[in-house]
Each structure stands twice: as C-alpha cells, then as structure tokens.
Chain A
C-alpha cells in the first residue's frame, strides 16, 4: 500500500518568506509526527498529533513554526518569516499509536533558505 508522502520534495525560499510543507500519512494511522533533520544530524522532534487530542507542540523551536492536521489526515507544517537556520530536511511520520510505536517515515522535504 501507499506509504507516507510529502510535498514538495525540495523547496528553495528567500529569507523572510513563509513556507508550507505537506504530509499525507498512511491511511488509518491516527498519529502523525513532524521532525527536522539538519545536515549530518539526528532527528529533532517538532510536533505530534494523536487523533482528536491537542497536539504536543513541545518541540517547535519558535512561534514562527506551526502545524495543523485537517480531518485527522493531512498535515501542514508552516514556517513564517523563514531564516537561514531553518534550512533542513523536514520529515513526517505516522503510526498506529496505541497499537505499536513504530513510525513510518516519508521521504522528507528539503528546505533551503537563501
């Protein structure tokens, strides 16, 4: 079946612009996660959605970052007034929370802020 998909695969933007990154999780997965991965680094947790519960936003680095999940499926990560330090690969994952902890990752969106 289809895995987690993300779009765009690559995004180049100018400093100060807003960007939106999209994640389509695996159908039926109630949990959705966003991570950030800088070059040669591990994964930094950003935000977690589980069903209709309030999202865990504890990993968002600043108030320029926000995310929403519509209809319990598709999620959008928005970065306002982008800065060069926002350049990274943004990964989305989904899982059957409550049944298994295993997270299935999408291919990521590579964001470059010039």
Chain B
C-alpha cells in the first residue's frame, strides 16, 4: 500500500500569509494526487486534481505542485474562509486509495 505523509499536522497563520502544506508518497505516484478542503461539519471539497490543476470555481490563490513522491499545496494569501483542514489523496495505486493525515489551518 502507498502511504501518504502530510505535514505539518497543524499550523497557525494570519490573514494574508502564504501557507504551504506538503504530502510525501511512500513510492512514486506520478501526478495522481488531489487536495481537499474540509470545514467543520461539512463534506470535503476538492481544490486541486492531477497535482496542479485547479478545480472549477476554486479561487486562484490555491495552487498545487509536485510529481512523483513530493507534493505541495500553497495558499498564496490566506483568507478568513480558508481556515479549515486540508487532505491529500492518492489514486495512483489502489486499492486502497490513501489520504494524508490532514493539516488543520488555524487562526494565529
């Protein structure tokens, strides 16, 4: 099984900050990775697919990069509505499809 290691597990940031979250795969997964945002009590919402493609309707301050084993989600200028938990998910080698452990972005 492919393991996804996400870091950090949590971070505190201020509105306007640049935020970076990383996912590392235990083996190469090409660009078969998505990033999801989840707010409390809500279903996850996909932000990025194919590692770097922006989901329709998602603000351009979100971006993804990486290929192989290391991937990054960047929020260029954190907004109040971005405080949430973020997950990566690989779909290269399955089953299982595997999520990262999540990164909770909190207000500083």
- Report if A and B associate in a common complex: no
Q: Which residues of B come within 8 Å of A, CB atoms?
A: none
Q: Which residues of A come within 8 Å of B, CB atoms?
A: none
